[in-house]
Structure 1
Amino acid sequence: MKIVAGNHYSGSLTREQFLFYEIRTVSSLILQGESCDEIYHVISTENLFQFPTEKMIKSITNTCFKRIDAMNAPELVYHLANASLDVAKQINLYAIMCENRIVYDFMTEVIGEKYRSQELDFSAKDVNVFFMELSEKVSTVNGWSESTRKKLKQVLVRFLAECGYLETVRSQNLLPVYLYPELDEAIRKKGDADALAAFNCFI
């Protein structure tokens, strides 16, 4: 069965970002058996996210739920909460890929192809070409403002730096990355073979 991950092209990443601490917190509360409403309550009353408004807390918590649901892999929720930072960050990137098609396409078609070809140079041109091609095939993306596109490009590059693909957001070369066994096993179990390329895995 072919998995169609990242079921929509959304510009919401401009405000949602990587949210690693937040999704790790939500995953821990899920493992404790808390319901969605209970998780909202705990995060809000204990001010776990350090956000200034109730609306922001609810929005970000909802984003974490959506990413966790999109993965459709309960074992990865456990690893999000309990694994080392590097493993959990890689799983978080996959969760974002599963929830937002822009990230899935970018990671598999641009980054995955660079690892496949071993042409590891990286620049703003790669991101610009990706968005140009995306605009031609997805009407939603074509309608976004230049400001939204610019912010999304910045977010994607920050994701790469956050997960060890780039040394910094200004780096010009991709670093070797390793697909951790916890995520590797879950991806294969789901049948999401296309996602493997995003993590430099072609076996």
Structure 2
Amino acid sequence: MYVELKQVAKLTLAGLSSVEISAKIIDENLFQYATNKSLDKLLSATLKRVAVLDEILLNLLVQGSLHTSKLVALIAIMKTNRLFLEFIEEVYLEKVRLGEQELEPKDFCIFFNNKAEQSLKVAGWQESTLKKLSQVYSIILFEAGLINSTRKKRLKRRSG
């Protein structure tokens, strides 16, 4: 949803309200979807993410380098998705602190098992849901440049 998020951010910076943005995206098919089937859900998520960013972050999302822009998108996801934020704090950043090189399938399993112990909602999720979330989290980390691929999830190090 990076491209869509960036489009909504541009429209927000141009001064359009969320209602005006929604209408423009739907009327002009700015997301270029074949059908409007999942458009409402996607639009709602992107508007929610843009709403948590201040003007500085919105400008970095729209005009920053690709790496910076994708990190701002990551921040927006973290600010709107508590479970993903907890994954970053409890798994990814812990791996970085410990100097570990890779995210492994067991890391996702341990994380979701811990969350299932803390939440009846998570405990009720099917294995397929947890697998899909693990895949989505991997894609988000890859797109943000924090891991090298979605298969062998080696943590990328930034120098400087």
TM norm. shorter chain > 0.5:
yes
Which structure 2 residue ranges, 5 or more long, are not aligned? Answer: none
Q: Structure 1 residues 54 and 173 mapped into 2: Cα distance closer, same or farther (>3 Å)?
A: closer
8 Å CA contact 1:164–1:177 kept in 2: the answer is no
Identify which of 124, 140, 152 aligns with 1:143: 124
Identify which of 70, 84, 109 aligns with 1:103: 84
Identify which of 14, 34, 46 aligns with 1:52: 34
Q: Distance in 1 between matches of 2:39 and 2:159?
A: 33
Higher mean alpha-carbon deviation, 123-132 vs 44-53, is at 44-53
Q: CA deviation at 1:178?
A: 7.0
Identify which of 157, 161, 174 aligns with 2:142: 161
Structure-2 residue corresponding to 1:64: 46
Compute the TM-score of the two structures, normalised by the length of structure 1: 0.74
Q: Distance in 2 between matches of 1:85 and 1:37?
A: 28
Q: Does residue 1:92 correspond to 2:73, yes or no?
A: yes
Q: Structure 1 residues 68 and 158 mapped into 2: Cα distance closer, same or farther (>3 Å)?
A: same
Cα-to-partner distance string for 1:7-47 (whole Å, 9 max, x where unaligned): xxxxxxxxxxxx10011000000011111121112211221
Aligned-partner residue type, residue 68 of structure 2:
V
Q: Distance in 1 between matches of 2:129 and 2:52?
A: 24
Aligned-partner residue type, residue 7 of structure 2:
T
Cα-to-partner distance string for 1:70-109 (whole Å, 9 max, x where unaligned): 34x2321121121111111101011101101111011111
Structure-2 residue corresponding to 1:124: 105
Which structure 1 residue ranges, 5 or more long, are not aligned? Answer: 1-18, 180-203
Q: Structure 1 residues 128 and 178 mapped into 2: Cα distance closer, same or farther (>3 Å)?
A: farther
Structure-2 residue corresponding to 1:80: 61
Compute the TM-score of the two structures, normalised by the length of structure 2: 0.92
Q: Distance in 2 between matches of 1:41 and 1:51?
A: 15
Q: Does residue 1:114 correspond to 2:99, yes or no?
A: no
> How many residues are matched?
160
SS of the equivalent of 2:3 reads helix
4+ runs deviating over 4 angstroms: none
Q: Distance in 1 between matches of 2:130 and 2:8?
A: 29
SS of the equivalent of 1:54 reads coil
Give percent identity, aligned residues only.
36
8 Å CA contact 2:25–2:31 kept in 1: the answer is yes
